Amino acid sequence: MEFDLTDDQRQIQEAVRAFSAAEVAPYASKWDEEQRLPPEIYQKLGGLGLMGMTVPEDHGGAGVDFISSILAIEELAYAHGSLALSVAAHNSLACGQIEASGTPEQKAKFLVPLASGRKLGAWALTESVSGSDAAGMRSTAVPARGGWELNGSKQFTTNGAAADLYVIMVKTDPAAGSHGITAFIVERGTPGLTVGKKEDKLGMRASDTVSLTLDHVHVPSENLLGQPGHGFIDALARLDRGRVGIGGMAIGLGRAALDAAVAYAGQREQFGQSLASFQAIQWMIADSATELEAAQLLVLRAASLQQRSLPCTKECAMAKLFASEAGLRVTDRALQIHGGYGYIRETRVERYFRDARLCTIGEGTSEIQRLVIARRILETARP
């Protein structure tokens, strides 16, 4: 098995690392405090090709491979979890579903401005009544006036406050369960679409998360995305890819926390010795580094399977499960190594810890990943 990155992948990784160090890391605490990302950052990211990473160049994207896109998310997360989350949701969910299921006209009209960074996308599956059980959604669309009329609400929509367009999943045939869900593209400003207030979150505070209300929202028939009744299946395919991105995000946050902890352990002295000389601290560093490397391998394997279009739902779930839980342990240990100073805002580790907490929840909780993994194993087990 080949573990080395290609020259292209390494170049993208280095370019995003340099960009993040110069344009993101210095402002990360400020943006977190203000609970907002400046709109200009998306134009800069667009200039680097990071707003349509895997979107082909003829649709305004960078056309890079999936592994490169995950490496980029990891590098953004190293500098700022919130930015990585917003960029990941825009890329893998909103752009991703239009890229995978859109008509040529939809791609020309909606994907090109998204992929170039001129517009921001959001993706709305979750509702207040349906999170893990996403197919239990209640929002509906019925044919009306040469198009469709959407009613209902969505919960926890990343980028929802700032987005220019939304990919929204609703039921078009409630009796058909998960096979009666259809995706629609809804543009910001469409009458009846109301964006709720930003959630006041524990972490990822600069990435906005909002509810959406759909009150007799009329959508033209050309905005129906994919096949009617296929929206949930298409959404699950997005989540397979998105979960690898969350894994990369957790690794980026974990690496940032570990680097901060190693630096701090080398400089802080207690009992006349540096913290780094205590075996208890060394073991935390060793465990963290090992878990991050293991997470990286799982994430790269899942990304590699994805980009070769091989079956990988189980592997994506494993990568997300392990990387997000490892990210949490690593950021927790980093905070512990900082002692009381880790608990205050001025040291960045408390932000890494808060941001990492999301990774075991968003795009399917750890419990749901375990369920997906176990189901795949049991289904294929020999009698």
Ligand X SMILES: Cc1cc2nc3c(=O)[nH]c(=O)nc-3n(C[C@H](O)[C@H](O)[C@H](O)COP(=O)(O)OP(=O)(O)OC[C@H]3O[C@@H](n4cnc5c(N)ncnc54)[C@H](O)[C@@H]3O)c2cc1C
Looking at the annotation, which residues are catalytic?
363
Q: Which two tokens stand for residue 244?
A: 């690898």
Q: For residue 196, which phi and psi values (nearest 5 degrees)? A: -80, 180
Which residues are 274's β-sheet partners? 269
Nearer to ligand X, 89 or 165 (CB): 89
Residue 48 one-letter amino acid = L
Q: How far is the CB of 35 from ligand X (least distance, A)?
A: 12
Least Å from the CB of residue 238 to ligand X: 10
Question: Minimum distance from CB of 207 to ligand X (Å)?
Answer: 7
What does the buried/exposed string (b/e) look like for 323-337 if buried means 16 or more CB atoms within 10 Å of the residue's CB? bbbbbbbbbbbbbbb
Query: Which DSSP letter does residue 132 get?
Result: S
Give the binding site for ligand X (CB under 6 A).
89, 123-126, 131-132, 156-158, 201, 204, 209, 358, 361-365, 367-368, 371
Q: Which is nearer to ligand X, 157 or 347 (CB)?
A: 157
Angle between helices 231-267 and 81-88 (to 10 degrees): 160
Q: Which is nearer to ligand X, 115 or 169 (CB)?
A: 169
Query: 235 or 334, CB closer to ligand X?
Result: 235
Residue nearest to ligand X (CB): 131
Q: Tell the smallest beta-carbon distance from residue 322 to ligand X (Å).
A: 16
Give 187 or 287: the residue with its C-beta nearer to ligand X.
187
Query: Helices 349-358 & 231-267, crossing angle to 10 degrees?
Result: 160
Contact between 112 and 60 (Cβ < 8 Å): yes
In the complex, minimum distance from the CB of residue 89 to ligand X, in angstroms, rounded to a whole number: 5
**DSSP reduced 3-state for 29:** helix
- Greatest distance between any 2 Cα atoms in the chain: 78
Angle between helices 66-79 and 231-267 (to 10 degrees): 50
At a CB cut-off of 8 Å and minimum separation 6, what does 45 contact? 51, 87, 117
**CB closer to ligand X, 190 vs 366:** 366
Tokens 């959001």 sit on residue = 122
Tokens representing 151 are 């009613």
- Residue in the block written with tokens 């629609």: 184
Q: Which of 168, 144, 109, 166 is nearest to 220 (CA)?
A: 144
